């Protein structure tokens, strides 16, 4: 089966960068070209397409309807071509860049990542902790672990585990009131991040009226890992995910006073661009991390 005529790759590359920047001068700077050279490559491509790809305006350029559709497909095609070229050169297996939310990264991934490195000695892993939803393509990440309801447009999303939560506190704080025997006893203690909707969900499931916190200062500690540290220091009761604090529970640094564990329908997801679906290093990482999650559940 013959392939339809293809446009010059150089013109497509220039167009894709100009579409991303929406500015020919900035695109020229990133590509190491002159603005005139960028304009020429765009003109070549427009002549091949038979329609304008940009709408020239007084203060810059905007993608035309044709250009907008072409830009999305061109970007995806260049990603696929880049992956294929890297695979051919043997470079794609050297580094795996992972963006991960702090608590999952600190209390799950970091504690297990050494086994992945042992199983895949040719893949170096670079991990960056971030609460933000990274743009994987522009930020240089291969995969990300995100928390939420998913899926996300343009990304392949695999649910790793549901988000579950229950109150935890230090033994010292628990003993300070002679023990915690029923959920209402928690209201006698400082509550960390009491505005967190997880508290309302848990107290409602425990049979209390919406987890009312009378005369309490409103506070927000931050990611679970910070709340856990505050709880271990005896600063209050934290609402935490048991899967992330097994070591602290086994060492007696934290106590989970009740078996009741709730969820809000969200989860922790492994996500990566659709164009990277055939990347060998991502396949290996996905297989490994799903195995680690399965072992935790077991």
Per-residue pLDDT of 100-130, as tens digits, reads 998 899 999 999 999 999 999 989 999 999 8
Angle at 271 between CA 270 and CA 277, to 5 degrees: 115
The predicted pLDDT at position 212 comes to 57
| Over residues 162-178, mean pLDDT | 96
Cα 203 from Cα 167, distance rounded (Å): 10
Helix axes 110-119, 280-297, angle to 10 degrees: 130
Q: How confident is the model at residue 222 (pLDDT cuts 50, 70, 90)?
A: low
The predicted pLDDT at position 90 comes to 59
The token duo for 189 is 């203690």
Angle at 259 between CA 258 and CA 264, to 5 degrees: 100
Determine if the pTM surpasses 0.85: no
In 32-101, which ranges are continuous DSSP H helix? 35-49, 65-89
**What is the CB-side half-sphere exposure of residue 152 using CA atoms within 13 A?**
23
Per-residue pLDDT of 152-161, as tens digits, reads 888 899 999 9
């Amino acid at each position: 089966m013959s392939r339809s005529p293809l446009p010059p790759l150089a013109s497509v590359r220039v167009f894709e960068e100009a579409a991303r920047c929406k500015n020919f001068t900035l695109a020229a700077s990133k590509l190491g070209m002159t603005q005139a050279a960028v304009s020429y490559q765009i003109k070549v491509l427009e002549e091949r397409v038979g329609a304008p790809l940009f709408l020239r305006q007084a203060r810059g350029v905007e993608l035309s309807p044709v250009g907008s559709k072409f830009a999305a497909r061109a970007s995806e095609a260049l990603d696929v071509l880049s992956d294929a070229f890297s695979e051919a050169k043997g470079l794609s297996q050297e580094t795996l860049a992972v963006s991960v939310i702090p608590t999952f990264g600190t209390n799950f991934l970091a504690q297990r990542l050494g086994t992945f490195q042992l199983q895949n000695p040719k893949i170096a892993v670079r991990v960056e902790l971030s609460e933000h939803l990274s743009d994987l393509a522009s930020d240089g990440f291969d995969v990300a672990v995100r928390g939420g309801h998913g899926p996300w447009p343009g990304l392949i999303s695999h649910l790793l585990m549901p988000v579950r939560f229950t109150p935890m506190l230090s033994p010292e704080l628990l003993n300070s009131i002679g023990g915690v025997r029923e959920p209402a006893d928690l209201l006698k203690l400082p509550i960390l991040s009491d505005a967190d909707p997880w508290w309302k969900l848990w107290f409602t499931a425990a049979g209390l009226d919406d987890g009312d916190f009378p005369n309490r200062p409103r506070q927000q500690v931050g990611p679970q890992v910070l709340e856990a540290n505050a709880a271990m220091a005896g600063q209050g009761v934290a609402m935490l995910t048991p899967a992330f604090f097994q070591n602290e529970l086994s060492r007696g640094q934290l106590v989970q006073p009740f078996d009741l564990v709730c969820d809000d329908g969200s989860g922790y997801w492994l996500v990566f661009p659709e164009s990277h679906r055939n990347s060998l290093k991502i396949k290996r990482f996905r297989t490994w991390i799903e195995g680690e999650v399965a072992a935790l559940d077991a």
